[in-house]
Structure 1
Amino acid sequence: MASALGDIAALRLFAFDRVLSHDAATQTIVLLGSFPAEDGSNTAIVRIERAALPVDEPTTLLESAVADVRLIESNDIYTWLLGWLAPSAARPDVKINIICPATDVHIRKYTAQKYLIVHETPALYERIVKPYIDAFPASRTKWVQDILDGRSEADKVLHRDAAYVLLPDMKWDLVTLGALYLVAIAASPALRSLRDLARAHLPMLRSIRREARRVVAERWGLERGALRMFVHYQPSYYQFHVHIVHVEYQGLLGMTVGQAHLLDDVISLLELSPEDAPSIFAHMTLTYGLGDQHPLYTPLRAAQPEVDGPADD
């Protein structure tokens, strides 16, 4: 289905249902609807975001990129204008991501949510979270396996070895350097989240850090320290992966405290873990924000009295 949605005529067949979420800061809107299919229609999620302005050619912004303006107000040295950009094949106005057919899980993920900070002890992980992860069908991460097996996005791979593959994330437009976004995906299906990491994974994690730095230096001239590398918990999918973004990249909720763990810190904690034994991450109580649309929200919220204990003095 996705390959059939690559032109404007196909996009205009989208039947809108409702807005799932919108963010004025990131200029993003997520729509729920459907596209026609041979057997009726397929539920679809369409995420539209403003594309970045061409900072590599700033002189073109006022010379040719802005086609027209309208005065809003002027007061002393201050002037406010509305502006319209000229059509340009080299400068897209928006980036569009489509999930079709979208499942109820996708819809819940992209729906605006209220968040709660929860504490996940090792006991709660074993009782609530691990069974949830174990129940994930393989079809949910087929797209990941296609990347690992070289059946999809092979031409975009930046580094591949037996332990992981490094490539641009779909959130990056592949052009705007300040919004650079890569992902390193572990090859082992047994390595699903932060909880599964052990000292034995240190060579892989160090390689991800080293190769990411090498690739961005060779391809884009970025110096050491120009990358922010982190791991999500809870992740959006349970095949261990590392997010790698430009240090100047802003506006990503997943970089906030309560979900993101810096790769450098993860490596340091594993170095402190005992040899041939469960790592610190297997013994830690992990604290993170969880949205009310997440399937784990209700059971973990109900279990919090077990964690909190008596009220603080």
Structure 2
Amino acid sequence: MPHSPASWSLESLNEFESENIINEDPVTHSLVLLGSFPDPDKSKARIKAIVRVERTALATSDAGRLFGVDSLLKRVKIEGSTDIYTWLFAWLGEDRERDLKINIICPATEVHIRKYTKQQQIMVHETPKLYESHVKPYITSFPPSRTQWVENILTGVSEQDKILYKSSDFVILPDMKWDLTTVSSLYLVALVQDRSIRSLRDLNKKHVNILKSIKKQAATVVKRKWGLGDGSLRMYIHYQPSYYIFHVHIVNVNFEGGLLGMTVGQAHLLDDIISLLELDPSDGPSTFQKMTLTYGLGEQHGLYDKLRHCYDHVDLIDG
């Protein structure tokens, strides 16, 4: 061993020579490095070693010191802003890499507060009948103010310098959850101009071409800008989505973070959706208008109470 357990110090750690990054995990903010330390006995030139570096979690005790007169933050930089949403990067010291990504919603409504509060879930079996009687009215009544930030992007009011691809049908740009740097956690979103598509339920065979175009252009963008080849992307659609302007999530396939909403009962792969729509007849109800959709729903969601009470009415669940 290059050092006994008790002899490790900053000086001895600095003797490590890194050769390769053999793993990285953006979820745990960790890197695994392969390299070597000098052999204290000089019998070997270097001794192979693996060093894993992980950023520690934010301490709840520091919450009150993140902002204010005695703030832990030493520098911030605004990365983007649209309507009520702003996101920044922050540094805990002047000579450091950026430490934190901060998203701000201001003013935050009661709906926002409910959405971001930790919550229990139920599994919903949404039949076409349940959709028509309860879910569709909820979607139709969704306040326009909740999607004003999306409208600003689609109408050219904001975020135009971030757009990676633009056509009359859709735009592709980085999702606000991505740090814009770590390619292994790359996260883009395609926003569709057709406001008549509110969710998965509205898709039919005539939308196959636009879905295929999103798939093609997303692959072209990431290959040109980040050198990612075929099969490097996971593209999916949420049901229920967090907002009802149709959009497709585009994520590096190697990023498996649970926070990205890729769980069963929420995410539907774009390729699978295209395949199902291609099997649809040219007219009549589409697959997604006829099928029962099963998904998890948090207790703070606006649909939660409506759908939970429906379990007392078997005709709506089984109809």
Task: Using the TM superposition, give the Cα deviation of residue 123 of structure 1 relative to its aligned residue in structure 2, in angstroms.
Answer: 0.5
Max radius of gyration: which structure?
A: 2
Structure 1: where are the runs of 5+ without partners?
A: 1-24, 28-51, 63-76
Moved over 6 A (4+): 77-86
Query: What residue in structure 2 maps to residue 247 of structure 1?
Result: 253
| Shift, 1:90, TM fit | 6.5
Shift in Å, 1:278: 2.2
Paired position in structure 2 for 1:262: 269
Q: 1 CA distance for matches of 2:53 and 2:210?
A: 51
Cα offset, 1:308, TM superposition: 5.7
Aligned counterpart, 1:299? 306
Name the CA shift for 1:90/1:281 in 2 (closer, same or farther; >3 Å).
farther
> Quick check: 1:119–1:286 contact (8 Å CA) kept in 2?
yes
Pick closer, same or farther for the CA change 1:159–1:83 going to 2, 3 Å: closer
- The offset of 1:154, in angstroms, is 0.2
Q: Which residue of 1 aligns with 2:63?
A: none
Question: Residues of 1 paired with 2:155 and 2:279: CA distance?
Answer: 33
The CA distance in 2 between the partners of 1:53 and 1:78, in whole Å, is: 13
Match of 2:221 among 215, 224, 229: 215
Task: Describe the shift of the 1:301–1:124 C-alpha distance in structure 2 as closer, same or farther (beyond 3 A).
Answer: same
Q: CA RMSD in A?
A: 2.9
Q: Percent identity?
A: 56
Residue in structure 2 matched with residue 45 of structure 1 by the alignment: none
Residue correspondences, number: 244
Output the CA distance in 1 between the equivalents of 2:164 and 2:283: 32
AA paired with 1:238?
Y
Instruction: Answer whether contact 1:54 1:91 (CA < 8 A) is retained.
Output: no
Contact 2:30 2:55 in 1 (8 A): no
Q: 1:171 aligns with which of 172, 177, 183?
A: 177
What TM-score do the two structures reach when normalised by structure 1?
A: 0.72
Q: Check conservation: 1:202, 1:270, Cα contact below 8 A.
A: yes
The match for 1:184 is: 190
1:252 CA drift (Å): 2.8
Q: Spell out the pairing of 1:137-176 with structure 2 (5 A cutoff).
A: 137-176=143-182
Which of 273, 286, 291 is residue 279 of structure 1 equivalent to? 286
Q: CA deviation at 1:89?
A: 5.5
Unaligned segments of structure 2, at least 5 residues: 1-25, 38-48, 57-90
Structure 1 distance, partners of 2:55, 2:192, is 45
Contact 1:195–1:281 at 8 Å: present in 2 too?
Answer: yes
What are the superposed Cα offsets for residues 216-253 of structure 1, whole Å, 9 maximum, x if unpaired? 01110001111100000000000010000011112234
Partner amino acid, structure 1, of 2:199: S
Task: Say if 1:80 and 1:129 are closer, same or farther in 2 by CA, change over 3 A.
Answer: closer
